[in-house]
Chains A and B, each alone.
Chain A
Amino acid sequence: MVKDQDYLKKTASFCVDLAKKLGATDSSAAVMHSISETVNFRNKKLDESDRSDSLGVSLTTYIGKKKSSISSSNLTEENINTLIERCIETTKITPEDEYNSLPDKDLLANKINDLNLYDDDHIENDEKIEYLKEVEEAAFQKKEIINTETGFSESKSNFILASSDGFLNGYKSSSFSASCVAVAKDSNNKMERDYEFTSTCHLNDMLKPSQIGEMAAKKTLQKLDPRKIESEKISIIFDRRISKGILSSFAGAISASSIARGTSFLKDTIDKEIFSSSINIFDKPDILKGLGSRYFDSEGVKTDELKLVDQGVLKHYLVDTYNGKKLNLKSNGRSGGTSNLFFEKGSISYKNLLKLNSRTLYITETIGHGSNLVTGDYSVGANGFMVEDGVFKYPVSEITIAGNFKDIFMNITLADDLEFKYSTNAPTMLIEGMVVAGK
């Protein structure tokens, strides 16, 4: 069983109290406990079971404007004492930084509406195995599938955040996820793989096992016998797996930290049009059972829904206490990043989006870390499909796509097929004018 709130509160308060006794003028402590159990299956046989029991504490101490932090998974009282002493000693010799401080008290979260983020259901490993057997059976319905790897993971967490300003709150959360990777071989003995997964807060919301196996197999088979295409400028469609990545890069570029440091291509763009005018972007922390939902941010600051982009115009940065003070902005509860971040859905159907151009490259996977948030340059490896007049013609691989986010943002058309499968979500996305490098 995951440890209860009382235990975590006691530990967190102990740390905050001891830090004060040793000379900290302020401090904050977080205590987290999580237990997760995972079962992995491969080719219809048990491959791996993994049980993880993980308890940890982290503490930040302030002496005036000096700050330092420690963390530990060794929670014996003796060790915690030694660490806190060390933390105080380090704090004393660390230079002052005028922006160091706990969050403003009036911004702390005080009322909490239940978002239903915890499901007490427990699923035994034997039942996980039954689920995975069904996943694999469904995948192996396609005879070209030669290998499957599936996994089922259940995790329960609890945490408490405490600060010397009197904040003492936390909550339990749960997660259930299952996935299937399928491998198929084509006529030239070349292999391809693809996957499907489900990840939810509540056990009952998971996809049926057969759906996962079928989709993984179907997506893998579609990739067989890929071609490399000529280099060209062509319109590109990002599948929902990929389109959300554009939002993640956007979120990175509007974090108060990169704005304050001057290392973002979106510096000084508040109230400027950075997306085409049809685009609206929200970050909504209070979605029931939402994968990115939270009651407060990692500093205890309340998090309200933000319309980050309104008709293409940037309205907010993602602000935490430290960088907020640097920028002369109040924290908007985004220490630790976004919550449920999404594009408002577009007005065109998926089918019509495919037909918008006579030839479109439909991207289902990108590899590499080719986003430069300082310059906005983007260049990644990719594979997907050539679509002609709305019809998928053949798979494409070993190509790259490149552009600059500033141009990409201005040339986005969104379909109306938004779904909430991740914590960051986007509909299928058409981008005009990117360059594909192939042959």
Chain B
Amino acid sequence: MNDFFTKTDLSRKDAESIISETLNNCDDGELYLENSKSESIVLDDDKIKSSSYSSDLGYGLRAVSGEVVAYSHSNEISKKSLNQSANNLSSTLKSQKGIYNHEIPQSNEKFYKDVNPIEEKSLQSKLDLLKEVNNYTRAKGGMVQQVTASFAGEHKSIEIIRSGGEVLTDVRPLIRFNVSVMLEKYGKKETGVYGIGGRQSYDEYLKDDNWKKVCDEAFRIASVNLESKPAPAGEMKVVLGSGWPAILIHEAIGHGLEGDFNRKKTSAFHNLMGQRVASEGVTIVDDGTLHNRRGSLTIDDEGTPTEKTVLIENGILKNFMQDRLNARLMNTRSTGSGRRESYKHVVLPRMRNTMMLNGKYSQEEMIKSVDKGIFAVSFGGGQVDITSGKFVFNCTEAYEIINGKIGSPIKGATLIGDGPSILKEVSLVGNNMMLDPGIGTCGKAGQGVPVGVAQPSILIDKMTVGGTQL
């Protein structure tokens, strides 16, 4: 385990007494300590473009009173620095009164192992593999104009010290392997991107030549797009593929069900608890407990063990995702959803692995039922305005559907919809639920955290496709 108090004039005892004194009249708060190592190795344009390593250390002291959060962070773990932070918090909260809530659930279950992926695989073998990836992908033919491949690894140790001296710790590995291919044919250029990852060693994901599948997939997506024609514009039926397309759920529904926006009544969902927000047969959960998944956490960044939270059950809104602050103010309990990007950031209720569960239809049935529409298989990013509920996401692989049959691939287009109503437009839920490959990062209030998504194929009766063909 990491000891944050060995190379500083600040002893654990000093820290504990500063914490207890600062949080004396507060409802909640903690000292959050973080030591993270990360690496990034990028091959691009036939060369190792960069190899970098980063080592970060710091703390964030947080005091919560009523609705007010006071936060101060620094990368200097010392008596002077922590005292300065404590003073800063106390001056913000000088007129506030609260009673510290010592209660925090405990669990011994861990959802990933304490491995350091950076050290487990030698730099030389990573460099060698990137070279192999480059050669393998470029050997696919003269169309291949550019190949970028990268490794990103992280090993993060955190410690949470609460008022009274309670200590909670977690060690979090995270890796990602990514390949991007650009093809050119008859002067037309298209890219394809694919990646894999999660909270295990690199080799767990790369073994058995699994890396070749990543190259193949990136190449396949780019090849499909080379043949693509302009996308249609307007409202139509949309069949979403299984797995990664669930970022629709993440954007359209997920963000709107985060506790803070609902406590503040700025979410389009804030007054819909217990009501029908989706078609029957639609069940959505947010699960932090899937082993080794990118979005999983043994404990959240406030120390609460994560769980599988049912958000929508058979179409009815059941729960929001909560951190401790919003849970207290909304008279409920934390769902273990309090997350922060690093010690530099305040805790916010966030998603983990957001999943729509299986229904009973096959993807073929869905496609067969569509006269005119699109079949969207892969996506880039998405975004949502949680107040109006409008959300978008960008297709990176999609096909037209004509008379129940999959037709030509179409160019990347943005799809736009309305969060609170989109799930009522879901008419068929598939039986082929799949998790995404482990590549998602969610942004909120300037903070990026790793997340996962999953869904079966679904049929949406009406969505606006942002193409150029009227």
Does chain B have a CB within 8 A of A101? no
Choose one: B67, B92, B346, B416; the contact of A400 (CB below 8 Å).
B416
Chain A residues with CB below 8 A from B191, complex form? 263, 374
Instruction: Kindly identify which residue among B56, B391, B466 contacts A401, using a CB–CB cutoff of 8 Å.
Output: B466
Q: Which positions 346-378 of chain A face chain B at CB distance < 8 Å? A: 367-370, 372, 374-375, 377
Contact A380 B388 (CB under 8 A): no
Residues 63-116 (chain B) with a chain A CB within 8 angstroms: 67-76, 81, 84-85, 88-89, 91-92
Distance (Å) between the CB of B27 and the closest chain A CB? 14
Chain B residues near A78: list those with CB within 8 A. Answer: 7
**What is the chain A residue whose CB lies nearest that of B124?**
A93
Point out the residues of chain B lying under 8 angstroms from A48, CB to CB: 68-71, 346
Q: Is A49 an interface residue (CB 8 A)?
A: yes
Partner of B81 from A53, A97, A193 at Cβ < 8 Å: A53
Instruction: Tell me how far the C-beta of A272 lies from the nearest C-beta in chain B, rounded to whole angstroms.
Output: 16
Among B42-50, B201-209, B282-290, the stretch that binds chain A is B42-50
The verdict on B217 contacting chain A, using a C-beta distance below 8 Å, is no
Do the beta carbons of A381 and B390 come within 8 Å of each other?
yes
Q: Which of B72, B146, B264, B468 contacts A50 (CB 8 A)?
A: B72
Chain B interface mostly: strand
Taking a contact as CB atoms under 8 Å apart, the answer to whether A370 and B57 are in contact is no
For residue B418, CB closer than 8 A to chain A, the reply is yes
Q: Is the CB of A94 within 8 A of B48?
A: yes
**Contact in complex: B53, A83 (CB < 8 Å):** yes
Q: State the CA gap A380–B412 with chains docked (Å).
A: 11
Q: Mark B17-29, 1 if CB is under 8 A from A, else 0.
A: 0000000000000
Query: Would you call the interface of chain A mostly helix, strand, loop, or mixed?
Result: strand
Contact A369 B381 (CB under 8 A): yes
B280: interface (CB < 8 Å): no
Q: Are A438 and B414 in contact (CB under 8 A)?
A: no
Whether B53 lies near A90 (C-beta < 8 A) is: yes
B-contact bits for A426-438, CB 8 A (1 contact / 0 none): 0000000001111
Option from A93, A375, A437 in Cβ contact (under 8 Å) with B190: A375
- Asked if A211 is at the interface (CB within 8 A of a chain B CB), the reply is no
- Write the chain B residue with the least CB distance to A80: B55
Contact string against A for B residues 116-141, beta-carbon threshold 8 Å, 1 for contact and 0 otherwise: 00000001100100000000000000
Contact A435 B47 (CB under 8 A): no
Expressed in whole angstroms, the minimum distance between the Cβ of A111 and any Cβ of chain B is: 32
**B468 contacts A368, C-beta separation under 8 Å:** no
Q: How far is the CA of A438 from the CA of B416 in the complex (A)?
A: 9
Closest chain B CB from A158 CB (angstroms): 15
Q: CB of B387 within 8 A of chain A?
A: yes
Known: A183-B266, A402-B414, A402-B468. A231 touches B48 (CB 8 A): no
B146 touches A191 (CB 8 A): no
User: Which residues from B are CB-within-8-Å of A50?
Assistant: 70-72, 346
Judged by a CB distance under 8 angstroms, whether B315 is at the interface is: no
Within 8 A of B (CB), among A371-411: 372, 374-375, 377, 379-381, 383, 397-404
Q: Can you name the residue of chain A whose Cβ is closest to the Cβ of B270?
A: A191
Q: Could you mark each residue 258-278 of chain A with 1 if its beta carbon is under 8 Å from any beta carbon of chain B, else 0? A: 001111010000000000000
**Chain B nearest CB: distance from A77 CB in Å?**
10
Is B470's beta carbon under 8 Å from chain A? yes
Q: Complex formed: what's the CA distance from A183 to B50 in Å?
A: 45
B281 at the interface (CB under 8 A from A): no
The A-contacting residues of B in range 390-405, CB under 8 angstroms, are 390-394
Is A49 a contact partner of B412 (Cβ separation < 8 A)?
no
A51 on interface, CB distance cutoff 8 Å = yes
In the complex, what distance in Å separates the CA atom of A402 from the CA atom of B470?
Answer: 11
Q: What is the total number of residues of chain B having a CB less than 8 Å from a CB of chain A?
A: 82
Quick one: which of B127, B191, B266, B380 has the most chain A CB within 10 A? Answer: B266
Q: Could you tell me the distance in whole angstroms from the C-beta of A326 to the nearest C-beta in chain B?
A: 8
Is A121 among interface residues, defined by CB-CB distance under 8 A?
no
Residue of B nearest to A323 (CB): B45
Q: Given A192, A232, A260, which contacts B45 in the complex, CB threshold below 8 Å?
A: A260
In the bound complex, CA of A262 to CA of B147 (Å)? 11
Q: How far is the CA of A166 from the CA of B124 in the complex (A)?
A: 32
Across the interface, do A52 and B73 meet the contact criterion of CB distance under 8 Å? yes
Number of residue pairs A-B, CB distance < 8 angstroms: 252
Q: How far is the CA of A74 from the CA of B56 in the complex (A)?
A: 6
A435 and chain B: residue at smallest CB distance: B468
If A369-B383, A402-B468 touch, whether A374 touches B182 (CB-CB below 8 Å) is yes
Given A54-B344, A372-B412, A379-B466, CB of A47 within 8 Å of CB of B68: yes
A401 to chain B: which residues have CB within 8 Å? 466
Q: Which residue of B lies closest to A438 (CB)?
A: B464
B385 within 8 A of A: yes
Contact among A87, A399, A404 with B53 in the assembled complex (CB-CB below 8 Å):
A87
Q: Which of A10-18, A63-71, A133-141, A310-318 contacts B (4 or more CB under 8 A)?
A: A63-71
Q: Is B297 interfacial (CB-CB < 8 Å)?
A: no
Tell me the smallest distance from the CB of A19 to a CB of chain B, in Å. Answer: 14
From the candidates A47, A97, A193, A370, name the one contacting B466 in the complex (CB within 8 A).
A370
Assess whether A53 is in contact with B74, with CB atoms less than 8 Å apart: yes
Contact B411 A377 (CB under 8 A): yes
B146 and A368 contacting across the interface, CB-CB below 8 Å: no
* Chain A CB within 8 A of B331 CB: no
Q: Does A56 contact B (CB under 8 A)?
A: yes
- Chain A positions within 8 Å of B380 at CB level: 369
Name the B residues within 8 Å of A208 (CB-CB).
none
Output the nearest chain B residue to A37 by Cβ-Cβ distance.
B88
Is A72 interfacial (CB 8 A cutoff)?
yes
- Over the window 73-114 of chain A, the binary record of Cβ atoms lying under 8 Å from chain B Cβ atoms (1 yes, 0 no) is 111101100010011001001110100000000000000000
Is A122's beta carbon under 8 Å from chain B? Answer: no
Cα A377 to Cα B414 in complex, Å, equals 11
Complex: A311 Cα to B184 Cα, angstroms: 31
Contacts known (A70-B54, A381-B466); A368 close to B393, Cβ less than 8 A: yes
Is B265 in the interface zone, CB < 8 Å from A?
yes
A45 at the interface (CB under 8 A from B): yes
Chain B residues closer than 8 Å to A383, beta-carbon distance: 388, 390
Asked whether any CB of chain A lies closer than 8 Å to the CB of B145, the reply is yes
CB-based nearest A residue for B131: A95
Question: Which A residues touch B411, using CB under 8 A?
Answer: 375, 377
Residues of B within 8 A of A90 (CB): 51, 53, 123
- Docked-complex contact A69 and B50, CB < 8 angstroms: yes
Pairwise interchain contact B50-A72, C-beta atoms closer than 8 A: no
CB contacts (< 8 Å) of A381 on chain B: these are 383, 390-392, 414, 416, 466
In the assembled complex, the CB of B50 is this many whole angstroms from the nearest CB of chain A, namely 7
Give the distance in Å from the alpha carbon of A260 to the alpha carbon of B274 in the complex.
Answer: 56
The one of B48, B72, B182, B383 that contacts A97, using a Cβ cutoff of 8 Å: B48
A-B pairs with lowest CB-CB distance, top 4:
A400-B466, A381-B392, A437-B233, A368-B392
Which A residues contact B (CB, under 8 angstroms)? 42, 45-56, 67-76, 78-79, 83, 86-87, 90, 93-95, 97, 125, 146-147, 149, 183, 190-193, 226, 228, 231-233, 260-263, 265, 367-370, 372, 374-375, 377, 379-381, 383, 397-404, 435-439
| 27 residue pairs from A and B, CB less than 8 Å apart | A48-B69, A48-B71, A49-B70, A51-B73, A52-B73, A54-B344, A56-B75, A71-B52, A71-B54, A94-B51, A146-B265, A183-B387, A191-B266, A191-B388, A261-B146, A263-B191, A368-B392, A368-B394, A370-B412, A375-B190, A379-B413, A379-B468, A398-B416, A400-B413, A400-B414, A400-B416, A439-B464
A370-B412, A437-B466 provided; 11 other pairs, C-beta below 8 A? A55-B76, A71-B52, A72-B56, A74-B75, A191-B268, A369-B383, A380-B392, A381-B383, A383-B388, A383-B390, A435-B468
